Structure 1
């Protein structure tokens, strides 16, 4: 039997995909203690660039949130916060650095954040807005040395968005202010799915009030490091659109014509660049059979009825994946050792 010292073993572990630790931690107590040690976790998060990906299944039943990889449960926890809700009333944001944010459609239910790889689930404190009339809310998760969660409230009383940021380091919320949030309101299902790996930015779809019954569409981006907002205009045509962020300065827009025009035609546009250099460029038009609703999304794909567009591979797939079913959510996941504990 070959016995390795701790330095040799650490070097080997640093080259493993993060999902492999699910098996390595079960080999013996010594390996488990090494992998779970704070110095090793910090070192692994700093040097490892693994693209190893798995698919996790989230389900919600009788107040129990369950996250599993294949048949193995990574998180299985019952909470009064989730009782009475179905998975259709829960939004998942992320993953960012291995963290996934769980938000209920009811703003009175606290936000939860989890690290499925470490089996951690944490509920964040509720935010009180006694002087506001909140009509809807949404969140974004990001990272700057430690994880952050941003929650936006659309306030009908003050005609603006209220923004709060939660820091994992301080375990508390604080309100952000900025004129860019005046006259902005959330749009339905407004969080923009992001393919950014570093998590330095979060994006939302919002609208700005121009006149009483007239609004303009915009992308609202939040810089997690500098904690500032910026907006990017979205063309106001007679269409429905879905937007995806490839990174902090690159977006894809899928435009669907109204039924009065070519109802099955999807226009794909790309935005690259910063500031005055950014502009939407037409990529292509795709005729999608039997299209009659705004597309949904999961990870890197946009669904148009039974047709699936993979916006990372830039191609259409022929059929809806079998793993997409009502009753649970599938998340493309890369694990990490980022802990939710202080």
Structure 2
């Protein structure tokens, strides 16, 4: 029998996906001690991009009687028995992420707390409430990020001051603080109804939203609002044209694609466009049209993004630049499917 030293074992374990590591804890006490150590998990989080094909799973989120549940293959990963969301329907709860294995659960009722969870570690945490404001808030949205610290950013569309109010939560301090307005960037901005931009970025340094900026009269521009988690700074990108029924997807921190998903059940042709800058001017360049598969089980791909529609959830592989499947709509009310890659980022102090 070949006996490997501790450094070699640790190096091998660092290259395995989280799901495998959680199973390998039962191999022997030494492996369990290594995998459970704070040093190993910190090193794994720093060195791992959570982008392994075999580390991707599809989880099922449900909200029933105010209780949050996350399941994988009918096995419960999280079952929150608190009554924070009692009386709230799933239609008024949004999921954001995952970023570094963290999923943010937002309720459109500002009187209820935002929650974050790490399903594979079985951790769920309700964040402190943000102090009430006297402003007239039209709508809100959040973004989750990671820069060595778990961060959640909340945007509030304020009718009173015609701007966005912003707060950032830090996992280290377990508290919120208000961000000062950044050089007029957030003035005259309002969140769009379908404001969250899904992202394939695995490092969690940026969050993006769709917003509109009020101009003279009733005119407004369509823009992308981006937040840099490291520097805690906002910037906007003015979009050419108005595509109210399209989905926008961030391939990385600065590259965006537009998906024109059909409304009709019998039409499965999706147009894909890439945002490019030529001679200092942004424009949408047509990349391709793809037929969305109507049936089939999702293949294991390096990375993909989900788009929830009335007929099901589209799975798009952004590296292959095509849709690989469509997950059927769940028959029971109050459930959502989302793609997940695990991590060892802990919500515990």
TM over 0.5: yes
CA spacing shift, 1:109–1:307, aligned 2, 3 Å: closer
CA spacing shift, 1:271–1:238, aligned 2, 3 Å: closer
Offset at 1:240? 2.9
Deviations 1:41-69 (A, max 9, x none): 11222233451211111111122211122
**CA distance in structure 2 between the aligned counterparts of 1:160 and 1:77, rounded to whole angstroms:** 35
SS of the residue 1:34 aligns to: helix
Deviations 1:140-176 (A, max 9, x none): 0111121211000011111110011111122211111
Deviations 1:75-107 (A, max 9, x none): 111121111123332111101011110111212
Q: Which residue of 2 aligns with 1:321?
A: 327
SS of the residue 1:78 aligns to: coil
**CA distance in structure 2 between the aligned counterparts of 1:15 and 1:266, rounded to whole angstroms:** 37
SS of the residue 2:201 aligns to: coil
- The alignment status of 1:244 with 2:249, answered yes or no, reads yes
Q: Which residue of 2 aligns with 1:79?
A: 82
Deviations 1:216-260 (A, max 9, x none): 21110011111111111123347532211111111111347999x
Map residues 275-286 of structure 1 onto 2, 5 A cutoff: 276=280, 278-284=282-288
CA spacing shift, 1:143–1:238, aligned 2, 3 Å: closer
For 2:97, which of 94, 98, 103 is the aligned residue? 94
Q: Which residue of 1 aligns with 2:301?
A: none
SS of the residue 1:320 aligns to: strand
Map residues 133-148 of structure 1 onto 2, 5 A cutoff: 133-148=136-151
**CA distance in structure 2 between the aligned counterparts of 1:48 and 1:79, rounded to whole angstroms:** 33
SS of the residue 1:80 aligns to: coil
For 1:339, which of 319, 332, 346 is the aligned residue? 346
**CA distance in structure 1 between the aligned counterparts of 2:240 and 2:251, rounded to whole angstroms:** 19
CA spacing shift, 1:71–1:33, aligned 2, 3 Å: farther
For 2:209, which of 196, 204, 207 is the aligned residue? 204
Structure 2: gaps of 5 or more residues: 293-303
**CA distance in structure 2 between the aligned counterparts of 1:82 and 1:159, rounded to whole angstroms:** 30
Q: Which residue of 1 aligns with 2:22?
A: 22
For 1:62, which of 62, 65, 74 is the aligned residue? 65
**CA distance in structure 1 between the aligned counterparts of 2:63 and 2:178, rounded to whole angstroms:** 31
Offset at 1:11? 3.0
Contact 2:311–2:328 (Cα < 8 Å) also in 1: no
CA spacing shift, 1:78–1:246, aligned 2, 3 Å: same
Q: Which residue of 2 aligns with 1:291?
A: none
For 1:270, which of 266, 269, 274 is the aligned residue? 274
Contact 2:315–2:326 (Cα < 8 Å) also in 1: no
Offset at 1:267? 4.2
**CA distance in structure 1 between the aligned counterparts of 2:268 and 2:27, rounded to whole angstroms:** 54
Contact 1:254–1:268 (Cα < 8 Å) also in 2: yes
**CA distance in structure 2 between the aligned counterparts of 1:124 and 1:245, rounded to whole angstroms:** 27
TM-score (norm 1): 0.85
Offset at 1:315? 2.5
- The alignment status of 1:161 with 2:161, answered yes or no, reads no
CA spacing shift, 1:214–1:129, aligned 2, 3 Å: farther
Contact 1:272–1:278 (Cα < 8 Å) also in 2: yes
Structure 1: gaps of 5 or more residues: 289-297
- The alignment status of 1:299 with 2:328, answered yes or no, reads no
Deviates most, 231-240 or 265-274: 265-274
Q: Which residue of 2 aligns with 1:232?
A: 237
